[in-house]
Amino acid sequence: MIENVIIEADGGSRGNPGPAGSGALVIDAVSGKILAEAAIFLGVATNNVAEYRAVIAGLELVKELAPKASVLVRMDSKLVVEQMSGRWKIKHQSMAELSRELQEQIAGIEISFEWIPREQNTRADALANEAMDAEQSDIRKFIAEPGTSSINVVSSAAKSRVVDIEYNPLMPSSVRAPRNITKKLTTIVLVRHGRTPFTESHRISGRGGEDPSLSESGILDANKAAEEIVKIGSTGLLQKVAAPTAVISSPLARTRETARILALKLGIEESVLDDLAEISFGAWDGHTNEEVATNWPEEYENWRGDVQAAPPGGGESVKEFDRRIQKAKKTLLEQYEGQTILVVSHVMPIRGFIRAAIDADWPAYWRISLSPCSITVLRFWGEEAAEVSVVNYSGHL
């Protein structure tokens, strides 16, 4: 029985964040024989995420091959060694999520962490680069044949950390998409605001109306969304997406309150972009659809069938509104090119972004359902190309 093992672990990212890989070796501490090695492709991630994932991959192999062994983790990441040894605080929320996952892995294991210089960690580094070069994962176990001195190499695909194996971290995923792209990928993660008293009573609420705040349920919605958003770039549904660097909100109260909850969780200052506000419903604001149909029957019916018709009392037509939203999209793509940004807005603006991404006609404005605090992920390469990754995800609610 193997009593002591060494894990050599390393991770890397080409772009930080960018295409990332983790490498880990499990070594019999007495004989020096390699028991297993793992090359794990992560998709888009940071160096720190890749380093943590390398340790987790090594521990998963230890639990399979030497579950009762004590473990020494050797790696050249000062951050992971000091954080897991309890000497450094974990400030970033996404790192805290990974730390908790690692703590679960080491529960009940006698384990210690040791920092080593990079030049002493070349084997794990080579495995991380193997994963990045191949853009796929591989685990190799070196199993001794009973009663002989021969070794049987068992190779298997690692449990994927990438949700979509066809996801391209830098370019559009479809082979039919444009390839002569000059703009950098900008990922826009769109979150609808949480519930308000108007949402819960099915009353119309747009720009220029009463501007309600989040209800108690809406605050709960926003906190649940924050727990999902903070996983971006590390774990969960959006682990393949680079972590957000900015939080931008509509100027209305419900979106600013939602954005503040998300931004605090991410440790990012939020900002406001006026053009992200909901469409204006004019005199209809605060009424239910049934009340509008009863009190303004001709105007309501005309508005339902004509994108150039505006509600009375200073409302916006869908066509006017769309010009404003496409202007907002252009502003964001120019200002945050090459980044992942979190945009907190409303039903109609998010539909407008989706309409642009899929180059759709006007029905996109009434054929897409979006729940409060749902998550939508769109990828843009300026105006040259676009891709829809996620629409109306609400599994966190």
Q: How far apart are the first and last CA of the chain?
A: 46
Name the one residue in this structure whose structure tokens are 């049934």: 290
Whole-number Å distance between alpha carbons of 211 and 204: 11
Contact (Cβ atoms closer than 8 angstroms) between residue 357 and residue 364: no
The catalytic position among 37, 51, 278, 299 is 278
Please tell me the distance from the alpha carbon of residue 26 to that of residue 9, in angstroms, as a whole number: 9
Selected catalytic residue, list 193, 346, 387, 396: 193
How would you write 181-244 as a 3-class SS string? Answer: CCCCCEEEEEEECCCCHHHHCCECCCCCCCCCCCCHHHHHHHHHHHHHHCCCCCCCCCCCCCCC
- Is 337 a residue of the active site? no
* Cα 160 versus chain centre, distance: 16
Residue 125 to residue 119: CA distance in whole angstroms: 10
Based on the residue annotation, tell me whether 193 is a catalytic residue of this protein.
yes
Classify burial at 50, counting beta carbons within 10 Å of its beta carbon; exposed 0-12, middle 13-18, buried 19 or more: buried
Q: What is the secondary structure of 270-299 as a DSSP string?
A: EEE-GGGSPPP-GGGTTSBHHHHHHHSHHH
Surface-to-core class of residue 207, CB atoms within 10 Å of its CB (0-12 exposed, 13-18 middle, 19+ buried): buried
Run of H or E residues at 154: strand 151-156
Scanning the structure block, which residue is given the tokens 């926003």? Answer: 222
Q: Are 378 and 357 in contact (CB under 8 A)?
A: yes
Q: Which residues contact 228 (CB under 8 A, 6 or more apart)?
A: 236, 237, 238, 375, 395, 396
Q: Is 278 exposed, middle or buried (0-12, 13-18, 19+ CB in 10 A)?
A: buried
- Name the DSSP letter for residue 56: H
Contact 61, 24 (CB under 8 A): yes
Pair 209, 286: CB distance under 8 Å:
yes
C-beta of residue 41 within 8 angstroms of C-beta of residue 132? yes
Enumerate the active-site residues.
193, 278
